[in-house]
Amino acid sequence: MMNTSIKTFQFLILFGVISCSNSEKKSNSKVIEDTYRPTLSSKKITEYLDFAYKGKTWDLLDNIFVEWHQNVGSNSVEFINQNDTISAIFEIFNTFYKPNEFLKFGSWEHPNTVKSKYIVIQNTILYSILKSKNIDKVNGINSRRTLLSNFRPPISSGNNNILYLTEEYAESFNIFLRPEAKPAGEIEEGEPSGYRVKSQRKAELLKSYIPVNYDYLEHYWHLETHPYINVIFFNKSLTKAKIDFYVGQLGGEAILEKKENGWFIKQIKSNLED
């Protein structure tokens, strides 16, 4: 099982995340299944990546991303509007997620948005509906959370090069980037992680296409274009929201409110500002 599945499972167990909620109001009881079905398996995508890299066939590498862009589209209107909560999640994401403009909100760890050809959208998103009208005091640990999977929001950022990070692509790229251990006799003195050199070369090659960043704590390659939304907290009337997010390893939070014309951002700050 790939690292994303393991991490998500551990996170769900730790925080008591649920995949559906019977406590949501009746207007939120409708469930629409996502209709996306992969055209390529993770194994086949990995084979294409390996073949392109070893043979230095860069046209094939280009084509992998072109096909990804063409074959994986956004969620249907029916999926997005299946209930008030899901609809609000998509609206908030589109209001907040402006990766090429994010530096106007301050300095962040690494702006991984400008140099890559494509923007990669996260595939899952957590949300929680609080029992209060306000979101000033959010108990993130004790809040009941729901995981929205197969999240592929239509993006109105003006960038047509959007990629949606489905499971098969997340798995295949992490397999492709997986470090290959050197034989013991080939490891140089003072090079405990020297076997990662080849992996880093692959990552540098991919960075012209997508943001690729290695998490040394979790030993996993992150492919999403940040900011990455960790969880959205709603007040009970779905008129206020707090987003917990991170850019690189630096966390932050954003406060949003809903008015007649839609959602707008009241505040964005990093955790270093607390």
- Partnered with residue 220 across adjacent β-strands are 215
> What was the pLDDT predicted at 95?
94
In the predicted model, is pLDDT for residue 273 greater than 90? Answer: no
Reported as a single tens digit per residue, the pLDDT across 71-98 is 999 999 999 999 999 999 999 999 999 8
* Per-residue pLDDT tens digits for 191-201: 444 445 678 88
Q: What is the pLDDT of residue 114?
A: 53
pLDDT, position 15: 41
Q: What is the pTM of this model?
A: 0.81
- Identify which of 145, 96, 144, 142 has the alpha carbon closest to the alpha carbon of residue 124: 145
pLDDT band at 50 (very low <50, low <70, confident <90, very high): very high
d(CA 171, CA 221): 10
- Dump pLDDT digits (tens) for 159-192: 668 999 999 999 999 999 987 654 545 545 544 4
Count CB atoms within 10 A of the CB of residue 232.
Answer: 25
| DSSP-derived secondary structure for the chain | --HHHHHHHHHHHHHT-BS--TTS-GGG----------SS-HHHHHHHHHHHHHHT-HHHHHHHHHHHHHH--PPPHHHHTSSHHHHHHHHHHHHH--GGGGGGG---S---SSSSSSEEE-S-EEEEE-SSS--SS--TTTS--EEE-S------SS---EEE--HHHHHHHHHHT---PPPGGGPPTT-TTGGGHHHHHHHHHHTTTS--EEETTTTEEE-SPSSEEEEEEE-TTSSEEEEEEEETTEEEEEEEEEETTEEEEEEEEEGGG-
Rounded Cα–Cα distance for residues 96 and 239 (Å): 15
Q: At what angle do helices 3-15 and 167-176 cross, to 10 degrees?
A: 120
**Residue 61 has what pLDDT?**
96
Residue 139: pLDDT above 70?
no
Query: For residue 62, what are the contacts with CB-CB under 8 A and spacing of at least 6?
Result: none
pLDDT at residue 140, rounded to an integer: 60
